Chain A
Amino acid sequence: MPADDVLLDVKSLCKYFPIEKGLIRRVVGHVKAVDDVSFQLRAGEILGLVGESGCGKTTLGRCILRAIEPTSGEIKLKTHSGEVVDVTKLNKEQLRKLRREMNMIFQDPFSSLSPRMTVLDIIGEPLWAQGVRGKAYEDRVKELADIVGLNVGHLNRYPNAFSGGQRQRIGIARTLTTNPNLIIADEPVSALDVSIQAQILNLLQDLQEEFGLTILFVAHDLSVVEHITDRVAVMYVGKIVELSETEELYLQPKHPYTEALLSAVPKPDPGLKSEPIVLQGEVANPASPPSGCYFHPRCRYAQEICTQQAPPLEEVSPGHYAACHFADELSLEGVPV
Chain B
Amino acid sequence: MASSRLGPAAAAGDGEAGYEIASQRQLIWRKFRRHRVAVFSFYLLLVLYALAILAEFCSPYGAFERHRGYLFAPPTKLHFIDQERRFHLRPFVYKVTNELDMETFQRKYAEDTSESYSLRLFVRGESYKLLGVFKTDLHLFGVEAPGVFFPAGTDALGRDLFSRMLFGARTSLFVGLLGLAFGFVLGLFFGGLSGYYGGGVDTLIQRLIEFLQSLPTLPLWMALAALVPARWSPIQVYFGISLVLATIGWTGLARVVRGKLISLREEDYILAAKLSGVRERAIITRHLLPGFTSYLIVHLTLAVPSMILGETALSFLGLGIRPPAVSLGTLLQEAQNIQTVTLNPWMLIPGGLVVIIVLAFNFLGDGLRDAADPYKHV
Contact = CB atoms under 8 A, between A and B. Distances in A.
Interface of A: 65, 67, 96-97, 99-100, 103-104, 106, 108, 110-117, 125-126, 128-130, 154, 156-164, 171, 174, 178
Contacts of B343: none
Interface string B277-296: 11100100011001100000
A128 B9 contact: no
Contacts of B20: 154, 157, 161
Ordered nearest first, which 9 A-B pairs have the shortest CB separation? A99-B277, A126-B276, A112-B268, A161-B20, A129-B277, A160-B8, A129-B278, A111-B268, A114-B269
18 contacts: A65-B275, A67-B275, A96-B279, A97-B277, A103-B275, A103-B276, A112-B268, A115-B24, A116-B24, A116-B290, A125-B278, A126-B277, A130-B277, A158-B24, A160-B24, A161-B12, A162-B8, A171-B272
Interface in B229-275: 267-269, 271-275
A99 to B, nearest CB: 3
Interface of B: 5, 8-9, 11-12, 19-24, 27, 267-269, 271-279, 282, 286-287, 290-291, 375
Given A99-B275, A116-B23, A164-B9, 5 more contacts: A104-B271, A104-B275, A114-B273, A116-B24, A163-B9
B281 to A, nearest CB: 12
B106 to A, nearest CB: 65
Contacts of A164: 5, 9
B5 A157 contact: no
Contact of B277 (A96, A117, A163, A171): A96
Contacts, number: 87
Contacts of B12: 160-163
B23 A158 contact: yes
B271 A67 contact: yes
B187 to A, nearest CB: 22
A133 B197 CA distance: 31
Contact of A158 (B21, B274, B276): B21
B8 A106 contact: no
Contacts of A156: 21
A113 B270 CA distance: 9
Given A160-B8, A161-B20, A161-B21, A129 B276 contact: yes
A100 B268 CA distance: 18
Contacts of A97: 277
Given A129-B282, A154-B20, A158-B24, A108 B277 contact: no
Contact of B279 (A114, A129, A162): A129
A162 B11 CA distance: 9
A112 B269 contact: yes
A126 B9 CA distance: 27
Nearest to A106: B268
Contact of A111 (B22, B269, B274, B276): B269
A113 B269 contact: yes
B275 A115 contact: no
B5 to A, nearest CB: 7
Nearest to B287: A114
Contacts of A110: 5
A156 B23 CA distance: 10
A116 B278 contact: no
Given A111-B267, A130-B277, A106 B24 contact: no
A59 B26 CA distance: 38
